[in-house]
Amino acid sequence: MKKANPKGSISYRKRNGKPRKEFAKLINEGLAEAGILNSDPKGSPKVIYKYASNETILTNPGGASITLGLDRPNSRGSGYGARGLVGLQNKSIGSSRIDLVVGRLASANDGEGVRPGTYVDNNFQGDAARIYICETTDVDMNFGLTEGIVGNPKGVSTVAIKSDQTRIIGRSGIKICTGPGQNWKPVEKTSKGGKLPVAGGVDILCGNINGDRMTWNPWDMPETILDLQPIVKAYNIRDYLKESSALLDDVYSAVLNLSMMVKGLAAVIAQLPSTYTILLFNPVAPIMAAIGSLVAALIGTFIGFLVDNPIYQSRAQKMPVDFDYLDHEGYKFIGSRSVRTT
């Protein structure tokens, strides 16, 4: 059994007792010019970036680059950099950027990319992966993002990350925070000196959609459903269900009491025929009739006390509970006021 190669490459295995000689031969024959085993590839880069005169670029033949310049989402005539927002004069807004890109126009031609030697601009749609850091830009418009509840801000600083599969990994935890820093003096403002909201929104836009859609409910009735909705808070919905359950218990008790009263009344009514037969020839009939009326009045009183009142109280208690949990202004609204998702 062959031992595992510590180098991790098949090219380093012994072949006919000649370790590495064949690889040296490959290098001499020029095959390593393609970058085998992370060797330095030769020749011209696949694409040529149309750099601007104010840009400093660190790049390699494989197509990875870091560009220092001004806001430029596409051609040299795009973005705030094209307006001359360099931030050098007094009270002048800057638009400096750091743009980390790999695979320029990699998605062109069904993923085959463009022809070698093609001159390209920035392309937020077709480039393989990018981290775009900019002092002033229209980030949502540049990346084609829907408005959501947060909106499409213009002329703001941004850090945008885009790739086929993006991961944010924290070994001990991850925080997604909006708003100013805690206990900072003076109070933190935006990079343009504007006032920050106490709690800026968070939109989780699966499918990059925002709006409403028409559907049909189980009763074959059209119904409009919003795509972007607040995320439910677990503890608040738990408390609401507990309090709703308690109100339902009161209703159950009232209905049970009503059932007992109706059964008792039914038993009395069942005896009425024989009672009336006796009373027709009984001189105390008026007294018995008065007693019957009193019994009916007592039953009505008991029904009002044991049934009607609990039901009215449950309805009265239900209204503020519904407001507290189901109304957006309620102090324990079950939905998040800041975080929404599709």
Question: 54-63, 89-98, 164-173, 190-199: which range is least confident on average?
Answer: 89-98
CB 94 within 8 A of CB 135: yes
Nearest Cα residue to 176 out of 208, 150, 205, 201: 201
- Mean pLDDT confidence for 24-40: 63
Distances (CA, A) of 309 to 16, 300, 301, 302: 98, 12, 11, 10
- Mean pLDDT confidence for 220-242: 82
Q: What pLDDT shows up at residue 198?
A: 81
Per this entry, what is the length of the chain?
A: 342
Residue 128 has pLDDT above 50, yes or no: yes
Model confidence over 1-11: pLDDT tens digits?
444 444 444 44
Question: 57-61, 93-97, 113-117, 306-310: which range is least confident on average?
Answer: 306-310
d(CA 85, CA 67): 17
Q: How many CB atoms lie within 10 A of CB 223?
A: 10
- Mean pLDDT confidence for 6-19: 46
Percent of the chain with pLDDT over 90: 27
Question: 3-12, 24-33, 195-204, 256-265: which range is least confident on average?
Answer: 3-12
Question: Pick the residue with more confidence: 319 or 287?
Answer: 319
Element (H, E) at 298: helix 285-303
Give residue 13's pLDDT band: very low, low, confident or very high (50, 70, 90): very low
Give residue 286's pLDDT band: very low, low, confident or very high (50, 70, 90): low
CB 94 within 8 A of CB 136: yes
d(CA 110, CA 87): 40
Q: Are β-strands 156-162 and 65-70 bridged in parallel, bridged antiparallel, or unpaired?
A: unpaired
Q: What pLDDT shows up at residue 231?
A: 82
Q: What is the dihedral of CA 159, 162, 167, 169, to 10 degrees?
A: -10
Q: What pLDDT shows up at residue 163?
A: 96
| Strongest mean pLDDT among 19-23, 67-71, 313-317 | 67-71
d(CA 139, CA 151): 11
Residue 290 has pLDDT above 90, yes or no: no
For the chain, which residues make up each domain, given as ranges? 1-42, 44-163+182-196, 234-341
Residue corresponding to tokens 């085993």:
37
Model's pTM, two decimal places? 0.71
CB 288 within 8 A of CB 282: yes
Q: What pLDDT shows up at residue 14?
A: 46
